[in-house]
């Protein structure tokens, strides 16, 4: 197993190119299941979660080849199995994204139930309820979701009781091939959902309300789509993490290949903390703060402050001159990084879903353990700012979602080495 050895206290400088968005690429790869052609996807991030989903499709019978420039060609026409097995789904919850498209194309499928994970229970009841409304028979047996719609899915009006990103995406893909009109009320508005809608729209599916909380989809009644080559949008969470790396080391760095509009809530919080932000076309430059101000954050759905940036901002708040408050509203157990941040010297009080961070803190290098993807990046950030050396263990969590992390950080002047546990 790999770990990262980080010698902290070094300023960063220069430019970093942001990769394609993992969370946009995952539903788009799943959408190739409803294509009649071989689909070319570029700007694909080279991260473990993407490899996992491609492996899942391969196990179903699809083929894929990597080309140059982070692009992949996926052919799902040879799919012969409709069973997404436990061994893959347990390593990545987002595997549930194949449920909608498999059911829509084949009229039946079996997908292993994703279990709970480090950040909470994360049920899929809303996905299943919506598919039932579209005419699917759903049962759960031996840890698998059995879904059947022999005569095809039927358009319906779906009201999501809670905003769900992958739930919305699953239903959008199912609705694209259903008979008639599907209206999704209280849909997720994340840029990754928007890109999925846009690609399906370009592939001939009639979709309106894209980017809003009510999406209307007219399905093709089973006809597969012709999906043209496209490029995945930049990863706003990777971008936000690098902005925090610049901030926590009080450095000036520039991010390239980003869509600044996707990062609005993050940029506003950084400005409120005193950091300079310069946006120019597809670049963002962050500059040091004179004094780092404490912050109040409540996580919410897009366009609110993303839960996927909560841990990184907690690391940053450790250096703020005063008390910051972070409230986690989306996941019930997303404070696993708190205990690890305390190992660097952090003074954080936890009460339910509210963390109070008392700064400023002098951080000292420590041995810490990553618990989930975004929590791990908070530990890397704290290590960059800490005096002395740190070791971040269990970095397979980081490898799920950050392309080339140590090389990108080292190119900016950080001192990060990937080593192997004995």
User: Any contact of residue 51 with ligand UD1 (CB under 6 A)?
Assistant: no
**Per-residue binding letters, 319-358, with ligand UD1 (x by CB under 6 A):** -----------xx---------------------------
User: Any contact of residue 308 with ligand UD1 (CB under 6 A)?
Assistant: yes
User: Any contact of residue 187 with ligand UD1 (CB under 6 A)?
Assistant: no
Question: Binders of ligand UD1: how many residues, by CB under 6 A?
Answer: 20
Q: Which residues pair with 402 in a beta bridge?
A: none
Burial environment of residue 323 by CB neighbours within 10 A (0 to 12, 13 to 18, 19 or more): middle
Shortest Å distance, C-beta 194 to ligand UD1: 13
User: Any contact of residue 26 with ligand UD1 (CB under 6 A)?
Assistant: yes
Nearer to ligand UD1, 103 or 386 (CB): 103
User: Any contact of residue 307 with ligand UD1 (CB under 6 A)?
Assistant: yes
115/117 Cα distance (integer angstroms): 6
User: Any contact of residue 162 with ligand UD1 (CB under 6 A)?
Assistant: yes
Q: Segment contacting ligand UD1 (CB under 6 A): 55-63, 118-126, 227-235, 349-357?
A: 118-126
User: Any contact of residue 176 with ligand UD1 (CB under 6 A)?
Assistant: no
Nearer to ligand UD1, 120 or 204 (CB): 120
233/259 Cα distance (integer angstroms): 8
131/148 Cα distance (integer angstroms): 10
- The distance in angstroms from the start CA to the end CA of the chain is 8
Shortest Å distance, C-beta 362 to ligand UD1: 31
Task: Give residues with Cβ within 8 angstroms of 103, minimum separation 6.
Answer: 109, 131, 136, 147, 148, 149, 153, 174
Let me know the angle formed at the C-alpha of 53 by 328 and 85, rounded to the nearest 5 degrees: 95
35/376 Cα distance (integer angstroms): 36
Q: Which residues pair with 241 in a beta bridge?
A: none
Nearer to ligand UD1, 120 or 212 (CB): 120
Q: Which of 13, 125, 223, 226 binds ligand UD1 (CB under 6 A)?
A: 125
What pairing do the DSSP bridges indicate for beta strands 63-67 and 39-42?
Answer: unpaired
Shortest Å distance, C-beta 144 to ligand UD1: 17
User: Any contact of residue 165 with ligand UD1 (CB under 6 A)?
Assistant: yes
Chain center to CA of 275:
25
Contact in structure between 14 and 256 (CB atoms under 8 Å): no
Catalytic residues: 117
Let me know the angle formed at the C-alpha of 350 by 349 and 352, rounded to the nearest 5 degrees: 160
Task: Give residues with Cβ within 8 angstroms of 110, minimum separation 6.
Answer: 82, 83, 84, 144, 145, 146, 147
Shortest Å distance, C-beta 234 to ligand UD1: 15
**In 3-state terms, what secondary structure has residue 207?**
strand
Shortest Å distance, C-beta 125 to ligand UD1: 5
Contact in structure between 268 and 287 (CB atoms under 8 Å): no
Q: Which of 115, 116, 123, 212 binds ligand UD1 (CB under 6 A)?
A: 123
Nearer to ligand UD1, 127 or 397 (CB): 127
Nearer to ligand UD1, 10 or 262 (CB): 262
**Contacting residues toward ligand UD1, per CB under 6 A:** 23, 26, 94, 120, 122-127, 162, 164-167, 192, 307-308, 330-331
């Amino acid at each position: 197993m790999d770990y990262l050895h980080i010698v902290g206290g070094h300023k960063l400088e220069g430019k970093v190119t942001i990769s394609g968005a993992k969370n946009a690429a995952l539903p788009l790869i799943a959408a190739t299941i409803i294509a009649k052609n071989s689909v070319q996807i570029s700007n694909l991030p080279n991260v473990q979660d993407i490899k996992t989903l491609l492996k899942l499709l391969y196990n179903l019978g699809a083929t894929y080849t990597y080309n140059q420039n982070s692009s992949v060609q996926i052919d799902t026409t040879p799919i012969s199995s409709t069973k997404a097995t436990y061994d893959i789904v347990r390593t990545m919850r987002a595997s549930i994204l194949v449920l909608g498209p498999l059911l829509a194309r084949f009229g039946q499928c079996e997908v292993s139930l994703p279990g709970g994970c480090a950040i909470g229970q994360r049920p899929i009841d809303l996905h299943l309820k919506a598919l039932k409304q579209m005419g699917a028979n759903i049962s759960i047996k031996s840890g698998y979701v059995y879904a059947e719609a022999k005569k095809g899915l039927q358009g319906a009006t779906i009201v999501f009781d809670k905003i769900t990103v992958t739930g919305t995406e699953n239903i959008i893909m199912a609705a694209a091939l259903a008979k008639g009109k599907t209206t999704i009320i209280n849909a997720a508005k994340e840029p990754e959902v928007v890109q999925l809608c846009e690609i399906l729209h370009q592939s001939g599916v009639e979709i309106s309300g894209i980017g809003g909380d009510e999406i209307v989809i007219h399905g093709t009644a089973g006809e597969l789509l012709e999906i043209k080559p496209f490029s995945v949008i930049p990863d706003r969470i990777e971008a936000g993490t690098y902005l925090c790396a610049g901030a926590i080391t009080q450095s000036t760095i520039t991010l390239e290949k980003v869509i600044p509009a996707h990062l609005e809530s993050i940029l506003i919080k950084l400005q409120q903390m005193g950091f300079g932000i310069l946006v120019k076309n597809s670049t963002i430059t962050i500059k040091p703060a004179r004094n780092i101000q404490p912050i109040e954050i409540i996580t919410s759905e897009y366009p609110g402050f993303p839960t996927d940036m909560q841990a990184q901002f907690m690391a940053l708040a450790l250096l703020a001159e005063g008390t910051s408050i972070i409230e986690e509203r989306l996941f019930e157990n997303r404070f696993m990084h708190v205990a690890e941040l305390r190992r660097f010297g952090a003074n954080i009080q936890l009460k339910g879903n509210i963390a109070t961070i008392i700064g400023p803190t002098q951080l000292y290098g420590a041995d810490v353990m990553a618990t989930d993807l975004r929590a791990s990046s908070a530990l890397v950030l704290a290590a960059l700012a800490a005096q002395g050396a740190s070791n971040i263990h269990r970095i397979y969590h980081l490898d799920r979602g950050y392309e080339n992390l140590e090389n990108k950080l080292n190119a900016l002047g950080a001192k990060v080495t990937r080593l192997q546990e004995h």
